[in-house]
Homo-oligomer: A and B are copies of this chain.
Amino acid sequence: MCNTEELKYCYKYPHPSVTTDCVIFGFDGNKLRVLLVKRGIEPYKGRWAFPGGFIKMDESAEDGALRELQEETGLTGAFIRQFHTFSDPNRDPRERVITIAYYALVRMKEVKGGDDADEAQWFALDEVPQLAFDHDRILRMAVRALRQNIHFEPIGFELLPQEFTTKELQNLYEAILDVHFDRRNFYNKMKRLEMLEPTDNTANPSAKKEAFLFRFNKAKYEELKQKGFRLEF
């Protein structure tokens, strides 16, 4: 029975709340990082958590996640992927909340600096503190999903600048998969795949010899995808 004017949405059966949460991945050139926000209210006040919020009745979960991402980073049309929905009845101490979780791949440079450094901050994967709610588990699942999907999609170009060196690309893959590749084999493999498009530009990241800059060749990738291709690694 509803007892206040405020509770004006009524149903015959109980309904859970539904939110989206977004694990935002960035790459600093060496390590994979995630963007966390500090909770200002109870429960878990002061703890770090992923940005997220309630889904509106006229938007899909994906639209909701994109909206949250825009509000948090200023980015529009970012690359996001739904990877799991968390529905443990007790995952939120207040009420039943089901969250549809996405991960996003963004370029750290393009994220509007967390105005309030205290509110939003990038954390390297191995420096993430204990998180609010079940967000520790959400993070583990996000990383696992990212690692799986990288075998089927050339994910990761979303994390690099438009033009990048093969070394940067290798660092990224090593950070995501937590492995080490031989520099020369990685270079040769990328050339064979023909998904990298050479540019006329060079970079000089750490003195010494200049390195060619490449651009991701999306057309070539789409072509390869037709023939049922797989990134190996």
Which of A's residues lie within 8 Å of B, judged by CB?
Answer: 1-2, 5-18, 54-55, 57-62, 82, 84-85, 87-89, 96, 98, 100, 148, 151-152
Contacts and interface: CB of A to CB of B under 8 A. Distances in A.
A8 B2 CA distance: 6
Given A6-B12, A15-B15, 5 more contacts: A9-B11, A13-B54, A16-B57, A82-B84, A85-B100
A7 to B, nearest CB: 4
B12 A7 contact: yes
B13 A10 contact: no
Given A18-B18, A61-B98, A148-B152, A55 B12 contact: no
Contact of A15 (B6, B17, B84): B17
A203 B202 CA distance: 65
Contacts of A61: 85, 87, 98
Contacts of A85: 61, 82, 85, 100
A14 B96 CA distance: 14
A7 B11 contact: yes
A104 B224 CA distance: 31
A78 B8 CA distance: 40
B9 A12 contact: yes
Contacts of A87: 18, 55, 60-62, 100
A10 B18 contact: no
A1 B89 CA distance: 27
Contacts of A89: 57-60
A178 to B, nearest CB: 10
Given A55-B87, A87-B60, A87-B62, A8 B1 contact: yes
Contacts of A18: 15-16, 18, 87, 98
Interface centre among A13, A59, A88 (most CB of B within 10 A): A13
Nearest to A20: B87
Contacts of A10: 1-2, 7-11
Contacts of A6: 12
A62 B57 CA distance: 24
Contact of A9 (B15, B60, B148): B15
A151 B87 CA distance: 27
Nearest to A91: B60
